Amino acid sequence: MRESEPISFAGAEGNRLAADLWGEGNGPVAVLLHGGGQTRHSWGGTAAQLAQSGWRAITVDQRGHGESARSEPGHYSFRDFADDAGAVFRQVGERYGTAPVAIGASLGGLSSLLVAGEASAPPMAALVLVDVTPRMDRNGVAGILQFMGARMEAGFGTLEEAADAVAEYLPHRPRPRSLDGLRKNLRLDPDGRYRWHWDPRFLSGPRPVSGGGEGDQDALIAAASRIAVPTLLVRGRMSELVGEEHAKEFLSLVPHAAYADVSGAGHMVAGDRNDIFARAVLDFLDRLEAA
C-alpha cells in the first residue's frame, strides 16, 4: 500500500487547498482538518491507521497553512475556515461518491461544527471533534495564541531552537528524537531563519481568527444545538482548553454525541497519544458502519 498521494481542493475563495489521500480502493472516506498553526502532516499517524483499517483518509492543509494558498484579502475568521471546510466536504462527496466523516482538531473541529450545524443538508456522514467545544477556557486559548505569536515574526535560527520552544510549551510531551516532523511545520525563509508554516495574518490580519469574540461563541453554541449527524467528542484529559464542564455542556447541546476522554493527552490529543486517539475514533467509526 502506498503511503499517500498528493491531491488538492478549491476553497470558498477559489484558494487552492493542498491535501494528501491515504488508502486505496472504495472504502469510506474521512477528511481530517488540523488545528490553527499546524499542517496536514500532524495527522500522519492517524491517517495511516485509518488507511490500514480500510478507510480512505484525506488530510488537508487549511487556508494559509502549510502548502495551501494564503488568503489574498487576509480572511481567517472561523466563518472563512468553515466555508472552506464545507467546500471540501462537498467536493469529496462529488469526487469519491460518498459523504465523508469530518474529523477536526481545534480550529478544524470548530470549522466542521459550523458546517454540521448550519448546513440545511450537512455534506458529511458524521463528525469527530478533537478537544474543542463551543465554549472553552479563555486562559487556555490566550496561552495558545501567545505561543503562536511570540516568534511569529522573528522566527528561529535553527530547528533545535524551535524544538526548545515547543518543549517548553509542551513539557508533558516527550521530545522527539527526530526533527523531521517539526521541519514540516516550519519554512526556511531567504534570511536563513525558520518561521511557522502559516500566514502571520492568521493572527494579525484584517480578519484574524480571534476577531469574532462573543459572536463566534454564540454562533458555535447555536450550531452545536442543531447537529443531527452522528458525533464523537474526544477530549484530552490534560487539556488546557476543554475542561470537564465544557464537555458536559457540549453533551447537553448534542445529547446523541459519544464521548471519549484520552488520558495522558493535552489539547494536541493525536500528537500526545495517537494510539489511544486512533482507537477511539476507529471504534466510533466501526459502530457507524455496523449501524
Task: List the chain domain ranges.
Answer: 5-134+212-290
The CATH fold assigned to 5-134+212-290 is Rossmann fold (3.40.50)
Amino acid in position 6: P
Q: Which stretch of 34-38, 134-138, 261-265 has the lowest confidence by average pLDDT?
A: 261-265
- Between CA 22 and CA 56 the distance in angstroms is 6
Q: Report pLDDT for 206.
A: 97
Q: Report pLDDT for 2.
A: 66
Kindly list the distances between the CA atom of residue 118 and the CA atoms of 15, 33, 82, 91, in Å, as whole numbers in the listed order: 22, 18, 10, 18
Q: Report pLDDT for 3.
A: 83
Q: Average pLDDT in the 234-249 region?
A: 95
240 conformational bin, left if phi > 0, alpha if psi -120 to 50, beta if neither: alpha
Q: Over the range 173-197, which residues count as b (16 or more CB within 10 Å of their CB) and which as e? A: beeeeeeeebbbbbeeeeeebbbbb
Q: Report pLDDT for 91.
A: 98
- Between CA 200 and CA 48 the distance in angstroms is 30
Q: Specify which residues 19 forms β-bridges with.
A: 7, 60
CA-nearest of 190, 198, 193, 184 to 70 is: 198
- Between CA 53 and CA 259 the distance in angstroms is 21
What confidence tens digit (pLDDT) does each residue in 81-119 have? 999 999 999 999 999 999 999 999 999 999 999 999 999
Q: Report pLDDT for 277.
A: 93
Q: Report pLDDT for 215.
A: 93
> Would you say residue 1 has pLDDT above 60?
no
- Between CA 240 and CA 108 the distance in angstroms is 17
Q: Report pLDDT for 15.
A: 98
- Between CA 113 and CA 228 the distance in angstroms is 11
* Helix 244-253, helix 213-224: angle, nearest 10: 50
Q: Which three cell numbers stand for residue 162?
A: 524551535
Please give the span between the terminal C-alpha atoms of the chain, in angstroms, as a whole number: 28
Q: Report pLDDT for 190.
A: 97
> Would you say residue 267 has pLDDT above 70?
yes
Burial class from Cβ neighbours inside 10 Å (0-12, 13-18, 19+) for residue 52 reads middle
DSSP 173: S
Q: Which helix (H) or strand (E) holds 89?
A: helix 78-96
Residue that is written with C-alpha cell 469529496 in the block: 92
Q: Which three cell numbers stand for residue 166?
A: 515547543
Amino acid in position 66: G
What confidence tens digit (pLDDT) does each residue in 2-34 have? 689 999 999 999 999 999 999 999 999 999 999
What confidence tens digit (pLDDT) does each residue in 190-220 have? 999 999 999 999 999 999 999 888 899 999 9
Q: Average pLDDT in the 236-247 region?
A: 94
Dihedral over Cα of 124, 36, 16, 29: its sign: negative
Q: Report pLDDT for 233.
A: 97
